[in-house]
């Protein structure tokens, strides 16, 4: 490891830290708003484009996969830029891109343009969280950075709650005497929120660790250094795999809650937007709880282990749920969101695993690869549902149980092989 560097006074001042945490949290708020809004308005937006019946599910999966593919590509792009150009350039560049894409989504008139714009939005959405977590982690002391990253993630996840409220609200808005669909208004508002956030960039300073490292000749954002060195590659892979259950639950079990409720024989109609909003309220509560738990236990790994066990119990209960009241069903959605509320700790673990010259690359790509994992997970789930278990009662529930079990086993094994990073000094670089 290289000799420690001293952060700049601006970046470590109380004002600078508050500004960085605030902008990172608000940026993630808008990020999650856009990411989740599609799930909330999926049915309404596709129906307004003339799509109906079973095609609503398949076309919805297609658009989600396009969004996640964009995040997969964007994760690599923004991550490398974060280590080469700086955390702030990525933070604000990603906000700008996904804000414009959000506004453009409000103008779509066909599935093709919708898919292209979800892909572009996905690229933009890929950069904010990793850059924000990296910036906050490097500015706060090792004793307090877990609290800072928890604030960023927990506040940001409230964007899902707002997306649920905005997406389901009847705006009764018109333009030139013509009514405008509610889902279009929701996209417009998200884009405007992001553009307004860019005005807050004044007073936010670059990470002192990055600024000092930039003056040296150390290699920064080198993917070869990350994936071609076996020790780094294995560590990197483990960071990704502990997050698999999280996005399977959010991206499939919650997003398709109306379909699962129907398979369970529920007597009421589940509103996807309500299920998503409650799951993310649970996720916010879980993020705060897991972040504080990691501080109390002085261990990131043990906090994640506890939440993975909880995740297994609650998710199986959800899938095997008998006929219940709508209140009961939505309460389980909240509990399932809480059980995967280790997102902040998970991203913090990734940021703490690597040196300053690779930290933004890792912290940006890892959560987006986890988000992008919903693509192969959806394909596996769809194969089991439509081919292997076709014609069987509750085929989608049986398929979900298999995919859930596999993702949980992989997460447990990966967590076992990751080192504990609580209290680790981050002021170092990865050497060749």
Q: Residue 302 corresponds to which tokens in the numbers above?
A: 């043990």
2 in any annotated domain: no
pLDDT above 90 covers what percent of the chain? Answer: 38
431 in any annotated domain: no
339 in any annotated domain: yes
Are 276 and 160 contacting, i.e. CB atoms less than 8 angstroms apart? yes
Instruction: Out of 46-50, 177-181, 380-384, 409-413, pick the least confident.
Output: 177-181
Tell me how far apart the alpha carbons of residues 200 and 278 are, in angstroms, rounded to a whole number: 29
27 in any annotated domain: yes
156 in any annotated domain: yes
Helix (H, G, I), strand (E, B) or coil at 133: helix
Are 74 and 127 contacting, i.e. CB atoms less than 8 angstroms apart? yes
Residue 4 is predicted with a pLDDT of 38
Domain residue limits at 73:
10-203+226-417
299 in any annotated domain: yes
Q: What are phi and psi of 266, to 5 degrees?
A: -65, 145
Instruction: Out of 162-176, 218-232, 288-302, 322-336, pick the least confident.
Output: 162-176
Residue 412 is predicted with a pLDDT of 97
Summarize the confidence of residues 24-42 as an average pLDDT: 86
DSSP track, 24-40: HHHHHHHHHHHHHHHHH
Tally of structural domains, the chain = 1
Report pLDDT digits (tens) over 240-284: 999 999 989 988 899 889 989 998 999 999 988 789 889 988 998
Residue 7 is predicted with a pLDDT of 44
Q: What is the pTM of this model?
A: 0.80
* b/e sequence 213-222, b meaning 16+ C-beta within 10 Å: bbeeebbbbb
Question: Residue 9 — pLDDT band, cuts 50, 70, 90?
Answer: very low
82 in any annotated domain: yes
215 in any annotated domain: no
pLDDT at 304 exceeding the cut of 70: yes
Chain mean pLDDT for the chain? 86
CATH of the domain at 391: 1.20.1250.20
pLDDT at 112 exceeding the cut of 90: yes
pLDDT above 70 covers what percent of the chain? Answer: 95
């Amino acid at each position: 490891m290289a000799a420690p560097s001293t952060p700049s006074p601006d970046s470590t001042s109380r004002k600078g830290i508050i500004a960085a945490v605030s902008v990172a949290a608000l940026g993630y708020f808008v990020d999650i708003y856009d990411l989740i809004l599609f799930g909330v308005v999926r049915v309404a937006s596709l129906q307004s484009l003339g799509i109906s019946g079973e095609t609503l599910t398949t076309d919805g999966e297609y658009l989600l996969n396009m969004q996640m593919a964009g995040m997969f590509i964007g994760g690599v792009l923004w991550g490398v830029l974060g280590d080469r150009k700086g955390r702030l350039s990525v933070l604000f560049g990603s906000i700008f891109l996904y804000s414009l894409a959000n506004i453009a989504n409000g103008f779509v008139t066909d599935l093709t343009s919708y898919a292209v714009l979800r892909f572009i939005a996905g690229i933009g959405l890929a950069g904010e969280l990793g850059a924000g977590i990296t910036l906050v982690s490097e500015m706060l002391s090792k004793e307090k950075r877990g609290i800072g990253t928890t604030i960023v993630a927990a506040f940001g996840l409230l964007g899902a709650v707002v997306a649920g409220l905005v997406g389901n609200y009847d705006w009764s808005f018109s333009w030139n005497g013509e009514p405008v669909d509610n889902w279009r208004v929701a996209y417009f508002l998200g884009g405007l929120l992001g553009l307004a956030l860019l005005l807050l960039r004044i007073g936010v300073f670059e990470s002192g660790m990055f600024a000092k490292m930039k003056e040296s000749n150390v290699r920064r954002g080198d993917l070869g250094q990350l994936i071609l060195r076996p020790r780094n590659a294995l560590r990197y892979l483990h960071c990704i795999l502990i997050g698999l259950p999280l996005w399977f639950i959010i991206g499939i079990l919650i997003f398709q809650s109306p379909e699962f409720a129907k398979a369970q024989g529920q007597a009421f109609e589940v509103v996807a937007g309500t299920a998503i909003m409650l799951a993310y309220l649970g996720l916010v509560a879980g993020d705060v709880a897991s972040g504080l738990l990691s501080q109390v236990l002085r261990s990131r790994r043990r906090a994640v282990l506890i939440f993975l066990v909880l995740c297994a119990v609650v998710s199986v209960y959800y899938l095997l749920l008998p006929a219940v009241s709508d209140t009961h069903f939505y309460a389980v959605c909240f509990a399932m969101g809480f059980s995967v509320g280790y997102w902040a700790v998970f991203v913090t673990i990734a940021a703490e695993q690597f040196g300053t010259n690779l930290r933004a690359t890792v912290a940006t790509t890892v959560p987006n690869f986890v988000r992008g994992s919903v693509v192969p997970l959806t394909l596996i789930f769809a194969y089991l549902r439509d081919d292997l278990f076709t014609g069987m009662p509750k085929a989608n529930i049986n398929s979900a149980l298999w995919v859930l079990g596999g993702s949980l086993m992989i997460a447990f094994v990966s967590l076992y092989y990751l080192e504990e990073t609580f209290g680790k000094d981050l002021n170092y670089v990865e050497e060749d």
